[in-house]
A and B are shown apart, each in its own frame.
Chain A
Amino acid sequence: MSQSTRGQRRPIPSSAFAALLYGIMFAIYLLYSPSAITLAGITDLLNNTIVLAIAAAGLTLVILTAELDLSSVGVIAVTNVIVATVSTKVPGGAFITLILVCLIGLLVGLINGWLVAFLGLQSLAATLGTMIACQGVALLILEAPGGEVAAFIMNRLTDTVFGFMPVAGLILLLAVAGWLLFRRTRLGIAIYAVGTDALAARLSGLNVKATKWLAFGLAGMAYGLAGYMLGAQTGTGDPRISNSFLLYVFAAVAIGGTPLGGGRGGVIGSVVGAGILTVMQKLLFAVGVAEFYTNIFNGVIMIVAILFGNLSAILSLRQKAIMSQHRDGQLVPN
């Protein structure tokens, strides 16, 4: 950080408020279900969260540029069925399949990015089209749930390492670390700039189209990775798309403090948002909510979480406004 900020408090990122909400929810969940704090309990929770978390992380990149991306579930379906059909057939299958799904995700993402950034199509509609097309491809590869995921993927990736660290947790830490590095790169900063004000970004010399194109591409790669992890969780492939999962991915991003209009927020918040949605289900079960009310609670809690996030956004904006009076503030991404 620049010298002039030494000694001054940084604005609280909105992901901190999401983390606070998560902490509260987890504490209540723990209260009703003491096994939640065991290693097995935490491993299970992280395993349940990781697919949503990685998908939400990818979506964040696109939303930061003020675009939308519906194709996450489509890419997940395709890569999931590929993991289930290829990973046992090829030597070193786990690793090769990983490369393969990342490439496929990247390819679909770049196609999305090309449609939106270079051809100028509206992102909601274009990615709706690619999502539907991807599901078609998934159905062609595997027409009913089945296939088999390599034992290494299925067993090792859902387990723990070093005796205490769930692999899913390790992956999330790596993702967060990767994000902290990425957001300081030129591309990372460009993504924020484009999302905040595309015209100003272009006038200041940034290549808006290339930035969006790459954002979509990286998001696609993240979706590919999420499909890979889904293969690890379920041990099989499933060509069907869950519409509710698509909406959870968006909810995770919004709850984590990244507004759908772009320019603010970050991956950390989205990962926490995914955690909130996952622990919410555990919480509702543990507290003993009757089955019909589950849906109602799901809806209400989502709204409450957003309000919470809005509150954080207002507070953090106020803090930034105050700070920018004291120094040549560059907007600090979280």
Chain B
Amino acid sequence: MTTFQWLVTVAAVCTLIAPEGRLYAQNEQKYKVFLDMSYSGNTWQAAAANGIKALAATPPYDKMIEFKTIISGTDVQRQISDIQSMIAAGAKAIILYPLSPTALNRVIHQACSKGIVVFTYDSTVTEPLAYNVSNITARYGANTAQWMVNKLGGKGEIIFNHGVAGTAVTKTYDEQAYAIFKKYPGIKIVGDFYGNWNDATSQEEVSKILAAHPNVDGIWTVDGTYGSLQAVVQNRPNRLVVIAGQSNNGYRLMMADPALQAKGLQGISSSAGPAVGGYAFKVMMEVLLSKKKLTNHNVEYPLPWVEAKDIKMCSGDRFEGGCNVFPEGKVPPLFLDTALDPKFLPELSLDAVQTGNPAAGAMVQPLPDPKYADNLPGINCQECKAPADALEPNLVSPIPVAK
């Protein structure tokens, strides 16, 4: 026999003797649930994944599901390949962070047609059979821009910190923010850059722009807020800015610091938080276990919205009694306070979101009815129309435009 014939024979024999689904021992009572991450190695993704892992290991889910995490990396074809592998391995539910709102539609459709429940968190897909849980429809761009305009009294110089170019999130938020800023002739955007959601990059770029425009009044960011503010604190410590952005612990501490407020710091802590992952997981499990039936496939996770006056220091390891920031040194400055959600995710503790281990003695609590999201064509739906006021803020009332 030739080599080729040998190989074919060996392969055929292996097919016959290979036990069915060897390493994923088919246990009839347990549901196979997969978490598919694309980006990895950054604070946000780590906190979201840890939250999901901790919930998956919290009773009663720990006995009901067989949970596995896969990191597909940043190449969309690899994510497609991994989801196909999950389908072949007998998945019952998949929760993922999709790399593209459209490229995964075909494979997700395949999964859903086989009865697999597919949920996305934070980043959405336009496939109608998938469920999206996100606050991308909560108008972060419009709300924060309007908040800044109100604080600035309708006039001032602004630095614009874009996120990663070429993403649906950046396009949506930028569009909303620009629409608001354009309405007020007194507002001037003197510099913009692509911070790529990275604090070090943001710090570098803001310090360069600040050097050329010493009278900047405000900075608009989606992420990289801490770095942007650091640049101002280091280069112009006696005159701080109005700033909108993320919910890093260090940033919230600075927002609440009376000494910095006296120098002009006014901040709003918002932006998508990692807790959306844990929330999406809980919703998915309720759908999987038929405890809930969703009439709309797009669920809106509330947008975090914390102003300086709302900031309250926590004394323990949990966000209890309305507290929403940890003292300095307890967590790293870049720790995202929005990894914890006392309302929807009471089962998560600080340790849970930092390590992925379940909190001792926790039991999964049922969720209230979800709030459904607006349609955003190209973001979470295909043939649909956005509401007429999609670019208007819905958390902040606009001040009148000065004539």
A binding-site residues for B, Cβ under 8 Å: 23, 26-27, 30-37, 41, 44, 48, 51-52, 139, 143-147, 154, 158, 230, 233-236, 238-240, 242-245, 248, 278, 281-282, 285-288, 290-292, 294-295
- B375: Cβ under 8 A from any A Cβ: no
- Ordered by A's residue number, 11 sampled pairs between the chains whose C-beta atoms are within 8 Å are A30-B18, A31-B18, A33-B89, A34-B20, A37-B15, A48-B81, A144-B171, A233-B103, A236-B105, A238-B76, A286-B85
A32 to B19, CA, bound (A): 8
Residues of A within 8 A of B170 (CB): 144
Partner among B22, B77, B82, B171 whose Cβ is within 8 Å of the Cβ of A285: B82
Inter-subunit contact B15/A30 (CB<8 Å): yes
A-side interface mostly: helix
Residues of A within 8 A of B22 (CB): 31-32
Known: A32-B23, A244-B73. A44 touches B84 (CB 8 A): yes
- B360: Cβ under 8 A from any A Cβ: no
Inter-subunit contact A294/B75 (CB<8 Å): no
**Which single residue of chain A is at the shortest CB-CB distance from B20?**
A34
Partner among B11, B21, B69, B75 whose Cβ is within 8 Å of the Cβ of A248: B75
CB distance from B20 to the nearest CB of A (A): 7
A238 to B101, CA, bound (A): 10
A240 to B104, CA, bound (A): 15
Residues of A within 8 A of B102 (CB): 145-147, 234-236
A239 to B106, CA, bound (A): 19
* In the complex, the 7 A-B pairs of residues with the closest C-beta atoms, listed nearest first: A234-B103, A236-B102, A144-B171, A240-B166, A288-B23, A145-B100, A285-B85
- B168: Cβ under 8 A from any A Cβ: yes
Residues of B within 8 A of A234 (CB): 76-77, 80, 100, 102-104, 106
Inter-subunit contact A235/B84 (CB<8 Å): no
Inter-subunit contact B23/A144 (CB<8 Å): no
Inter-subunit contact A145/B18 (CB<8 Å): no
Inter-subunit contact A287/B23 (CB<8 Å): yes
CB distance from A12 to the nearest CB of B (A): 11
Partner among A147, A242, A295 whose Cβ is within 8 Å of the Cβ of B75: A242
**Which single residue of chain B is at the shortest CB-CB distance from A29?**
B85
A31 to B16, CA, bound (A): 9
**Which single residue of chain B is at the shortest CB-CB distance from A292?**
B71
Partner among A27, A51, A143, A291 whose Cβ is within 8 Å of the Cβ of B166: A143
A27 to B24, CA, bound (A): 18
- B212: Cβ under 8 A from any A Cβ: no
Inter-subunit contact A288/B24 (CB<8 Å): yes
A30 to B13, CA, bound (A): 11
CB distance from B209 to the nearest CB of A (A): 21
**Which single residue of chain A is at the shortest CB-CB distance from B166?**
A240
7 new A-B pairs (CB below 8 Å) besides A37-B11, A242-B74?
A35-B88, A41-B88, A233-B77, A236-B105, A240-B166, A281-B81, A285-B70
Inter-subunit contact A23/B168 (CB<8 Å): no
A32 to B17, CA, bound (A): 11
- B386: Cβ under 8 A from any A Cβ: no
Restricting to B363-390, which residues have a CB under 8 Å from any CB of A? Answer: 378
Inter-subunit contact B100/A238 (CB<8 Å): yes
Residues of A within 8 A of B89 (CB): 33, 285-286
CB distance from B6 to the nearest CB of A (A): 10
CB distance from B161 to the nearest CB of A (A): 17
Inter-subunit contact A30/B88 (CB<8 Å): no
